[in-house]
Structure 1
Amino acid sequence: MYIADEWLALERDVLGQRPLISGTVAEVRAAYAQTSEQLAGLYPSPSDYPVKDEKLVTDTGIAIRLYTPTNTNNRSENLPVGVFAHGGGNVNGGAWASSFEDRMCRYVAQHAGVIVAQVDFRLAPEFPAPQQLNDTFEAYKWLHANADKFHGDPSRFFAFGSSLGGGIAVGVALKLIDENLGHLVRGVVALCPALLHPEFVPDEFAPLFKAYEETVDAPLQNSESMMKFYNYNGGTAQRMNPYVFPALHPGLRRLPPVYQAVCEADPVRDDSTVLKHVLDKHGVSNKMDSYPGLPHYFWLWPQLKSSEKFHRNVAEGVKWVVSTMCDVNGTT
């Protein structure tokens, strides 16, 4: 497995070890919180971003953290909306619990000129899968129905997520399409998404799905620790569910334009390989940026040159997805 020189230098000069998020649920949550706190001091202050930060709550009690850019030319303009599902293996994090997800949402809101709505879905194992998908699905519909309350453009909504949240984003889009609500989702942005359980890989995808074999010693997230997350969050029990693991869904050809970002030293690398294969096969418009030799969620560390590149590329990916949409007047 190739590891990029800049990551090896970070391990040697800054971290002093190869990091790995693993252990019991309690240990994983403690490590996640500690990492979030340590990294917060390396990021720009939230007040440095021209973004309004507010809380909404759906009729069913799901909290949403709304990031609205204040640097647009016309502040009365209705803006595109990305409904964001955070990472953390569905057992960590939350809309107010992560400095690095907060940074991502603020950066995208500012640089892509969109509203980002981060869903505070309930966590496993207290609420096993598919609860996270269901909470995000309900929040998505509520946000769309109430878009006029926060200057959101209902004709330009997209599903957005990272890691397990990236899988949720794809699953939510497919669930909307299956329930004849496909007009509510005009694009998908999925960052290193988890889309396929390694214990249930269809034969047609097996030649493409090699990352778990190759990432036994990967930093941050390796093949063993990823399996622990699936066991903790109920994903293993749901491994045949085509919304929880949407690479299984027979209707991928019906997806709107998709942007993916892929870390190549990452057990979920080939989840994206499979999705891109299917999208290309069916002529679905899609783009993908890859990061050779870099592990899952490498962009947390701003010391890496590739971290800034990643954030820029995600903002450009969001802008590309939005550019494929039509506004309420039918123009792009």
Structure 2
Amino acid sequence: MTLRRVLGGLGAAAALGTAAAISTRRRALAAVPRELWHPVLYLPLSFGNPVTLAVARRLVPLAGAAVRPGVRVERRTLPATTDDLPVEVLIYQASGASGRAPRAALLWIHGGGTVMGAARQENTWCSRVADELGALVVSVDYRLAPENPYPAALDDCFGALRWLHASAAALAIDPSRIAVGGESAGGGLAAAVVQRAHDSEVPVRFQLLVYPMLDDRTALRADPPDSAIHTWTPGSNRFAWTSYLGRPPRDRDDRPYIAAARRRNLAGLPPAWIGVGDLDLFHDEDVDYARRLNEAGVACELRLEPGMYHGADALLDGEAPSMTAFRTAALDALRAALAKP
């Protein structure tokens, strides 16, 4: 789950003529704990136009994180079916794990606003899950917007979930212990995939949603205070949602699974873990979704991290104790959910 190189490169590209914006960010830093300070917080990052998007996409291959020793990674093209086009995935498993008794599996969906990113940027996280949990992890290289708007990414991710179930015996996984998760836009896609899986009677044990991008209507609201402008801004959010939806967000959009927060009835969905910082642009929509899940009878653990901005764990895991603890909490929730009954 790394944004370090991407954010740094985009920050450098956006640094010209930004004295006023930098002054605003200095004031906003007052809400950020010292251990979470990072140079990118001073920079007016924006993904709101094709130029910055092109820069980000060029940098993503450089952001591929290291795979843990002892974990094998295989790139595979899932075959087309009557319902699904071919989709590229990365498969992570601990060496020697393929011969074990049926194990749990995680379908992981990378972040990037649905407009950038790649499965390989999640090498560190996915290989950690495979290593520490002994699970098979499948990370999806879904099609990106705006070239491929809704429902392309959703279809790719849901197709990968169906493939996991259909291939359970060959992959030596337990189909009753498959989780779906993702971070940021990947978390939003994961929540939508889980909803579609529920309606299609495709079993999912658990959903792991890391500061998920759940509600396109956030882009319609007034800009948040300065404390919520770090790394993922309202302008970036509007651009990303417009790209994914194929049109600007609007109050009403009845297309199925277009945004997870739009679903009215959440009853019957699998248990969830949602983690988000109180300085994150997605804070309100994430907290509200967690509340609605619990009210619908769905067990949902909400981890609300004080002083955390969007992607802080990606920048500072291993350096800031609170961010290391945040990621460990997500892993522990997944471990408990995927344990055998």
Question: TM-score over 0.5 for the alignment?
Answer: yes
2:234 is the counterpart of 1:223: yes
Q: Deviations over 1:235-278 (max 9, x none)?
A: 65576245121112123121111011112211111221111111
1:75–1:228 Cα change, 3 Å? same
Alignment of 1:261-300 (within 5 A): 261-300=275-314
2:41 is the counterpart of 1:25: no
Q: Write the letter of the residue equivalent to 1:213.
A: P
**Residue matched to 1:82:** 106
Cα displacement (A) at 1:171: 0.8
What 5-or-longer segments of structure 1 have no aligned partner? 202-209
How many residues matched?
Answer: 302
CA distance in structure 1 between the partners assigned to 2:247 and 2:212 by the alignment: 16
CA distance in structure 1 between the partners assigned to 2:246 and 2:275 by the alignment: 22
**Residue matched to 2:119:** 95
CA distance in structure 1 between the partners assigned to 2:260 and 2:72 by the alignment: 33
1:63–1:276 Cα change, 3 Å? same
**Residue matched to 1:7:** 36
One of 256, 262, 278 as aligned partner of 2:270? 256
CA distance in structure 2 between the partners assigned to 1:212 and 1:194 by the alignment: 16
Q: Deviations over 1:298-319 (max 9, x none)?
A: 1122433333222212211211
Q: Write the letter of the residue equivalent to 2:109.
A: A
What 5-or-longer segments of structure 2 have no aligned partner? 1-27, 81-85
Cα displacement (A) at 1:159: 1.2
**Residue matched to 1:156:** 177
CA distance in structure 2 between the partners assigned to 1:252 and 1:125 by the alignment: 29
**Residue matched to 2:93:** 68
Alignment of 1:141-220 (within 5 A): 141-181=162-202, 184-198=203-217, 213-214=224-225, 218-220=229-231
2:125 is the counterpart of 1:104: yes
Q: Deviations over 1:23-70 (max 9, x none)?
A: 423422423543763x66xx6x42x43312112222212111111123
**Residue matched to 1:124:** 145
1:246–1:58 Cα change, 3 Å? same
8 Å contact 1:242–1:248 — kept in the other structure? no
1:4–1:288 Cα change, 3 Å? same
**Residue matched to 2:10:** none
8 Å contact 1:211–1:270 — kept in the other structure? no
Q: Write the letter of the residue equivalent to 2:185.
A: L
SS class of match (1:65): strand
8 Å contact 1:65–1:118 — kept in the other structure? yes
1:200–1:253 Cα change, 3 Å? farther
CA distance in structure 1 between the partners assigned to 2:32 and 2:174 by the alignment: 42
Give the alignment's TM-score, normalised by structure 1. Answer: 0.82
- The root-mean-square deviation of aligned C-alpha atoms, in Å, is 2.6
**Residue matched to 2:5:** none
SS class of match (2:308): strand
CA distance in structure 2 between the partners assigned to 1:191 and 1:4 by the alignment: 20
CA distance in structure 1 between the partners assigned to 2:264 and 2:271 by the alignment: 17
8 Å contact 2:93–2:136 — kept in the other structure? yes
One of 124, 135, 147 as aligned partner of 1:114? 135
Q: Write the letter of the residue equivalent to 1:95.
A: A
8 Å contact 1:171–1:246 — kept in the other structure? yes
CA distance in structure 1 between the partners assigned to 2:246 and 2:291 by the alignment: 23
In terms of mean alpha carbon deviation, does 105-114 or 251-260 score higher? 105-114
8 Å contact 1:83–1:116 — kept in the other structure? yes
CA distance in structure 2 between the partners assigned to 1:322 and 1:90 by the alignment: 27
Q: Write the letter of the residue equivalent to 2:224.
A: E
CA distance in structure 1 between the partners assigned to 2:244 and 2:35 by the alignment: 32
